[in-house]
Structure 1
């Protein structure tokens, strides 16, 4: 009588060992989270990609032997709340990669919705070659996005701070954006009554809120780009007059503001000052983020 042996139990599937870099990214994520960094995982991965010359989706391909210990130097800088973009030297805005660093305001994701509204507004105009002015341009992010996505537009950008203007010039090199060094409140008198759209992300933080501003902005962004009088609306009041001077009849102004200023900014663009259709608009998080108005004859 013969017996047949049972087949052996299948071996458990082997697990690929976690790469050294991914393990260190996990450690860095915890360190950044403990330091209060708002997006610790993203920042830890972005720093790893920067140091190792790759992108975030390919971190798993970095061999253990190629791990660069300089990663912990940049993690320590971010842990101290130095802006991620200052460490990597780049900021992403809509379809752009911009050069940024000390002396220039780092563009924020919420401003992308402001630009998106402006692009739709310009495209809806019956104008073959729109004329656009970006006031307080900083890195040039808004102006460059408009020039890229509205290819028949002429875009002028104004910046007062010479350090910020240096970054804008670097970003605008080889583009159609026309840069001007000057005060946004008195800029471009030669364009009076001709402009189709005026847009700005001006300073709008009240002076009394200094201590509540995130360290990345308070300690690293230029003060000129952040604070604007006791209520934060001083520059916006000045820009209202600039926009009215520059815009043609029917032209549109778009002004970013703090989410806590919803309802206040449209009241600056009143009918008796030559405006119509003043309104607030939400950002992607449904918080009031920017105001618009249309210039009319007064």
Structure 2
């Protein structure tokens, strides 16, 4: 069967399920099941190849066809494309993902970049970084693999999600060695003062993509609503700010004077989170935007000197 016919078939099937990008998804699934990539698929479409010519060595056309149809069915059921493929791209990483772990989003790359820029501007030789709510490891592993000598501690509450964190940590072991960096994963509540208490007052950067969706704003996309783990989505209160507020308070104890917090949040939460950060002893507090111009993250720097009346959170 010709590649053009297969792509057309996939596009029609996926369009019928209401997908916004039926042709893109069909092309990705065809390339993946054939053991190839989109560049070769484009070449094959241009040259009028059939599936026999396109499939990688050892991949029988009949089996590719069966796998392709199975994947189309899964995508029609609105299973996330990344779960079907088993991996997701994030910055320079190709991360293993699957049921039980939050799929990293492109907007979070902006949040990571803000943290990396802050570290670069200060020229710290071996920065101490904490990633709260690690999930797949996308945020912390990006720091560890892009910043030479970074010492990254990651905290994740879900054992199911931590399985994926460990897989991705192991996959990046050679890169971590090359960079002279270290990455450690701790299971626990990212808002608890008992977790990583030994690092209190020493951390250069806390970076976090916590659950923050307001509880009264259920996502409309079936891929998010039905597949992403609820624990990674909802911020614990009607406005979604409860868990982000806990991250701010925990960061205030972890960070050294002059250290920074970069935390992703919903576009509706900027003012409330800036206000709390100031109350918790952060002196320079800003809201950063993503590439679409939406309020996306809190950037807050711990004040130098005494914290004054800021309450202690170490006993949580």
TM-score for both structures, normalised by structure 2:
0.84
Partner of 1:267: 275
Deviation sequence 1:251-286 (CA, Å, 0-9, x none): 00011012233433222211x320122111111111
Which of 199, 212, 219 lines up with 2:226 in the alignment?
219
Q: SS at 2:98's partner residue?
A: coil
Partner of 1:204: 212
Question: How many Å apart are 1:126 and its aligned residue?
Answer: 4.0
Which of 47, 50, 54 lines up with 1:63 in the alignment?
50
Matches within 5 A, 1:145-160: 145-160=142-157
Q: SS at 2:268's partner residue?
A: helix
Query: In terms of Rg, which structure is larger?
Result: 1
Q: CA RMSD in A?
A: 1.6
Partner of 1:25: 7
Which of 264, 277, 295 lines up with 1:288 in the alignment?
295
Q: Which deviates more from structure 2 when the two are superposed, residues 184-193 or residues 258-267?
A: 258-267
Structure 2 unmatched ranges of 5 or more:
56-60, 177-181, 308-316
Q: Confirm whether residue 278 of structure 1 aligns to residue 285 of structure 2.
A: yes
Matches within 5 A, 1:1-298: 20-59=2-41, 60-61=43-44, 63-65=50-52, 66=55, 67=61, 68-69=64-65, 70-173=67-170, 174=173, 175=176, 176-186=182-192, 187-210=195-218, 212-228=219-235, 229-270=237-278, 272-296=279-303, 297=305, 298=307
Deviation sequence 1:201-251 (CA, Å, 0-9, x none): 0000111122x3421111111111001221101101101111000000000
Report the number of matched residues.
278
Question: How many Å apart are 1:113 and its aligned residue?
Answer: 0.7
Question: How many Å apart are 1:37 and its aligned residue?
Answer: 2.2
Structure 1 unmatched ranges of 5 or more:
1-18
For residues 269 and 7 of structure 2, what CA distance do their matches in structure 1 show? 38
TM-score for both structures, normalised by structure 1:
0.89
Q: SS at 1:198's partner residue?
A: strand
For residues 257 and 34 of structure 1, what CA distance do their matches in structure 2 show? 33
